[in-house]
């Protein structure tokens, strides 16, 4: 059987050389980013830990009741109380801090880029294969260049989480704006709306349910990176899962794993409830 011709295209070496170039020539920039990210994560974590456990549970119960139902709110409170009984409260707050920072940055980057994709087809055609790569590339692969730029810890985990969680909100923001009814747009144009007025008062409100679905997916994908982030030194529940795996500790692994599941249920139901509430209010207003 004829073997493949001896032709080589060392794309991996090219990427590695580019990463080395960035790490060497932009060290000051990455050090600045590290200070900003690490201080923000630490401040968020300390803010969460400063809240009494019972107060945070009451806040979650109130939010869950408002956006879902009283049964949902009480269930979310029970979930958080159970996490505390597993002696994983501080690790949960660390994981929440990483998720909050990752999701906020993903939305601040993703929604404007999704809007730009909706208005610029050339930019959209360039971004789509990039987003495909970000979603399908094994997460461990882009953990490698991240640790070239930042010391091990929560910061590289946040960067890797943003890369992984960014595509859904970008795609769904673009989809929501593109799918706004043409008759609605024509009606706004007939009243002399400018491009910015059209975006802020017509397209974004109409696309809001789809954008909120993207927010929900981005949040869930950020949470799914909790364990992966622990492999680059991130603290929190993922670190506990990794520790249990190394020690083959079934008890610790199950408690940390089910805590991540509890967080996922709480975040998913609340973000979905926010989207439903916004949709119902928009329907009443129209």
Range of the domain at 101: 11-50+86-285
Q: Kindly state whether residue 63 falls inside one of the protein's structural domains.
A: no
CB atoms inside a 10 Å sphere around CB 99 = 24
Q: Kindly state whether residue 46 falls inside one of the protein's structural domains.
A: yes
Q: How confident is the model at residue 1 (pLDDT cuts 50, 70, 90)?
A: low
Q: How confident is the model at residue 282 (pLDDT cuts 50, 70, 90)?
A: low
Q: Kindly state whether residue 61 falls inside one of the protein's structural domains.
A: no
Q: Kindly state whether residue 80 falls inside one of the protein's structural domains.
A: no
Here the CATH number for the domain that contains residue 101 is 1.10.3720.10
Q: Kindly state whether residue 162 falls inside one of the protein's structural domains.
A: yes
Give 9-57 pLDDT, tens digit per residue: 777 778 778 888 888 888 888 889 999 999 999 999 999 999 999 999 9
Residue 146 pLDDT greater than 80, yes or no: yes
| pLDDT, mean of residues 94-106 | 92
Q: Kindly state whether residue 71 falls inside one of the protein's structural domains.
A: no
The whole-angstrom separation of Cα 142 and Cα 173 is: 25
**Is pLDDT larger for residue 131 or for residue 138?**
131
Residues near 96 by beta carbon (within 8 Å), at least 6 away in sequence: 48, 263
Give 212-257 pLDDT, tens digit per residue: 889 989 988 888 887 788 888 888 888 898 888 888 889 989 999 9
CB atoms inside a 10 Å sphere around CB 140 = 11
Q: Kindly state whether residue 65 falls inside one of the protein's structural domains.
A: no
Q: How confident is the model at residue 284 (pLDDT cuts 50, 70, 90)?
A: low
Q: What is the pTM of this model?
A: 0.88
How confident is the model at residue 95, as a pLDDT?
92
How confident is the model at residue 281, as a pLDDT?
67
How confident is the model at residue 235, as a pLDDT?
86
Residue 100 pLDDT greater than 70, yes or no: yes
The closest of 273, 269, 266 to 76, measured between CA atoms, is 266
Give 159-186 pLDDT, tens digit per residue: 988 988 999 999 999 999 988 887 877 7
Q: How confident is the model at residue 74 (pLDDT cuts 50, 70, 90)?
A: very high
Q: In total, how many domains does the chain have?
A: 1
Q: How confident is the model at residue 199 (pLDDT cuts 50, 70, 90)?
A: confident
Residues near 4 by beta carbon (within 8 Å), at least 6 away in sequence: none
| pLDDT, mean of residues 269-277 | 84
Q: Rounded to whole angstroms, what are the CA distances from 85 to 53, 71, 79, 231? A: 11, 21, 10, 26
The closest of 47, 46, 80 to 62, measured between CA atoms, is 80
Degrees, nearest 5: CA angle 265-270-276? 125
């Amino acid at each position: 059987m004829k073997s493949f011709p001896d032709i080589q295209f060392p794309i991996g070496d090219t990427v590695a050389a580019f990463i080395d170039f960035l790490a060497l020539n932009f060290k000051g920039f990455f050090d600045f980013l590290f200070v900003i990210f690490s201080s923000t994560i630490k401040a968020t974590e300390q803010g969460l830990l400063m809240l009494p456990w019972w107060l945070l549970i009451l806040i979650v119960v109130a939010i869950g009741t408002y956006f879902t139902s009283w049964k949902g709110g009480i269930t979310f409170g029970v979930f958080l109380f159970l996490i505390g009984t597993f002696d994983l409260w501080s690790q949960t707050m660390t994981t929440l801090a990483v998720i909050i920072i990752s999701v906020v940055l993903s939305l601040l980057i993703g929604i404007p880029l999704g809007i730009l994709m909706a208005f610029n087809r050339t930019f959209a055609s360039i971004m789509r294969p990039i987003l495909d790569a970000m979603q399908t590339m094994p997460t461990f692969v882009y953990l490698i260049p991240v640790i070239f730029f930042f010391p091990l810890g929560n910061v590289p985990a946040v960067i890797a989480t943003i890369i992984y969680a960014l595509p859904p909100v970008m795609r769904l923001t673009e989809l929501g704006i593109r799918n706004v009814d043409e008759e609605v747009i024509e009606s706004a144009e007939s009243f002399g709306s400018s491009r910015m007025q059209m975006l802020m008062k017509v397209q974004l409100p109409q696309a809001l349910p789809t954008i909120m679905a993207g927010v929900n997916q981005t949040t869930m994908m950020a949470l799914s990176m909790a364990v992966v982030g622990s492999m680059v030194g991130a603290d929190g529940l993922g670190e506990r899962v990794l520790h249990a795996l190394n020690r083959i500790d079934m008890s610790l692994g199950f408690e940390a794993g089910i805590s991540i599941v509890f967080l996922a249920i709480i975040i998913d139901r609340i973000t979905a409830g926010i989207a439903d509430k916004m949709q119902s209010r928009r329907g009443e207003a129209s």
